[in-house]
Structure 1
């Protein structure tokens, strides 16, 4: 969990700092870039306020990040972290089973 939360936090920072780069490559018809950027900002704020408690309790993680539409952003980041950042094979398999068809 610590490495996942760190990965999400770092991506939120990078997304904010390099928004023009991300905007140019945006091809999602599902939602606008501005809305995705808003979800990233909300997620970053939640992580700043609750990260310590999230590390202690998965319930806090789910209560804070899966209560609103930030769940869309967080799920996307979990899938990408499992695909590229995680070394934990059980985590990768669980994410694959839950989120990939």
Structure 2
């Protein structure tokens, strides 16, 4: 196994999935809920948008891409850590920013598994 500092986002996602496979369906459900909220409440989100790295429209586009992948590959994403990491953490696009953000926020606000929360903190906030 690679040193923690040398893990890619895809490596981290694969490891998280392997350690906490039961958490993945709930994480995916929560991501879909957030994607729907962004789409439904665009004007409200635009007014309060303060993420300087990108515009709300860019974030919305990333959420739509992630939502499409989850809907298309959901069953495989739940079953396979490799599919989960390959489809949602591609190094070839910026959707990884959206998914990383959603994993951290899911751990902070939705997960009840303290070990999952610690793992997310270690892997994605380091």
> Which of 34, 41, 44 in structure 2 is aligned with 1:18?
41
> Offset of 1:11 from its aligned partner?
0.7
Q: Which runs of 5+ in 2 are unaligned?
A: 1-23
Whether 2:115 is the aligned partner of 1:94: answer no
**Which is higher, the Rg of structure 1 or of structure 2?**
2
TM-score by length of 2: 0.77
The number of residues matched between the two structures is 101
Q: Secondary structure at the match of 1:81?
A: helix
RCO comparison, higher one (Cα < 8 Å, 6+): 2
Q: Which runs of 5+ in 1 are unaligned?
A: none
